[in-house]
């Protein structure tokens, strides 16, 4: 007898080397080969051409891609990655207009069974499949069920209590431009703040974000500006569209 509510098929790439960003992107789009390592390496080269050591990936070229590479890769598919200001309640998110989430967490580095004193950043995809949200962490043996919308909001709140974790909201370009990923009351509040703010982000600050070597550096630089001017609750990180 068939089950009344069979589990939906879920594509889940598992961790290989330092390619968690690649796995997170493919898990987000639920398709093998949506992106390849050579494609992400090509984005690194376009972001920082003519450099001996590329700042957007690991020294040995094994992966460990930064947020700029993920953003550029998403933009090739007509999507945007928006940094979520953890001072805000995730309940402000309009989940019906959001493609998924990419969570950035600290990760220890192992060589075989030996734990090395190195810190890496790990990328994890969270998205809705068959009406439920799943954690598609490439380090998991299988997708981890989070639950429905209320369980997801509670899960995001718990994750963002850590100062070392950062959340990126993945939306289509149209949704990002119209701010549809926020509930309407949040949209009105942001527009009012933006209109009342006489300053915009300086080109020097934008360059600082784009040239940062790690997601935490990018967020730190942007957060200082955001906290001082308070012209947005949820803001998009560095523009890299011109590099694609």
What residue segments make up the domains of the chain, in order of their start? Answer: 20-243
Instruction: Classify domain 20-243 by CATH number.
Output: 3.90.70.40
Per-residue pLDDT, 201 = 42
Q: Would you place residue 62 in the very low, low, confident or very high pLDDT band (cuts 50, 70, 90)?
A: confident
Query: 72-107: per-residue pLDDT in tens?
Result: 999 999 999 999 998 999 999 999 999 999 999 876
In a 13 Å sphere around the CA of 103, the CA atoms on its Cβ side amount to 25
Of 44, 97, 122, 234, which one is the catalytic site residue?
122
99 carries an active-site annotation = no
Higher pLDDT, 69 or 47: 69
Catalytic residue among 12, 20, 56, 92: 20
Q: Is 44 helix (H, G, I), strand (E, B) or coil?
A: helix
**Residue of 64, 58, 56, 76 lying closest to 24 (CA atoms):** 64
- Annotation says 56 is catalytic: no
In this predicted structure, which of 75-79, 152-156, 165-169, 239-243 has the lowest mean pLDDT?
Answer: 239-243
pLDDT of residue 190: 54
pTM above 0.75, yes or no: no
Sheet holding 100-111, edge to edge: 144-147, 132-135, 114-129, 100-111, 166-172, 79-83, 235-236
Q: Mean per-residue pLDDT for 31-57?
A: 86
With bands split at pLDDT 50, 70 and 90, how would you rate the model's confidence at 188? low
At 189 the pLDDT is 56
**pLDDT in the model for residue 184:** 76
State residue 118's pLDDT score: 42
Both tokens of 132, joined, read 């439920």
Q: What value does the mean pLDDT of the chain take? A: 75
């Amino acid at each position: 007898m068939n089950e009344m509510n069979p589990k939906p098929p879920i594509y889940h790439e598992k961790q290989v080397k330092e390619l968690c960003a690649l796995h997170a992107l493919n898990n987000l789009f639920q398709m093998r080969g949506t992106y390849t390592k050579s494609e992400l390496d090509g984005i690194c080269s376009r972001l920082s051409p003519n450099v001996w050591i590329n700042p957007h990936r690991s020294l040995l070229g094994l992966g460990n891609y930064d947020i700029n590479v993920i953003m550029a890769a998403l933009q090739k598919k007509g999507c945007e990655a928006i940094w979520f200001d953890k001072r805000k309640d995730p309940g402000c998110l309009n989940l019906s207009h959001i493609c998924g989430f990419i969570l950035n967490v600290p990760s220890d580095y192992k060589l075989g069974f030996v734990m090395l004193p190195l810190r890496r950043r790990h990328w994890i995809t969270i998205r809705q499949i068959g009406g439920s949200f799943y954690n598609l962490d490439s380090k998991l043996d299988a997708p981890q069920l989070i639950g429905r919308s209320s369980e997801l909001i509670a899960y995001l709140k718990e994750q963002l209590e850590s100062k070392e974790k950062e959340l990126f909201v993945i939306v289509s370009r149209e949704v990002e431009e119209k701010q549809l990923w926020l509930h309407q009351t949040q949209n009105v509040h942001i527009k009012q703040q933006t209109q009342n703010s006489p300053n915009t982000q300086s080109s020097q600050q934008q360059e600082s974000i784009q040239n940062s070597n790690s997601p935490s550096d990018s967020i730190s630089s942007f957060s200082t500006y955001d906290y001082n001017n308070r012209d947005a609750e949820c803001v998009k990180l560095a523009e890299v569209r011109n590099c694609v």
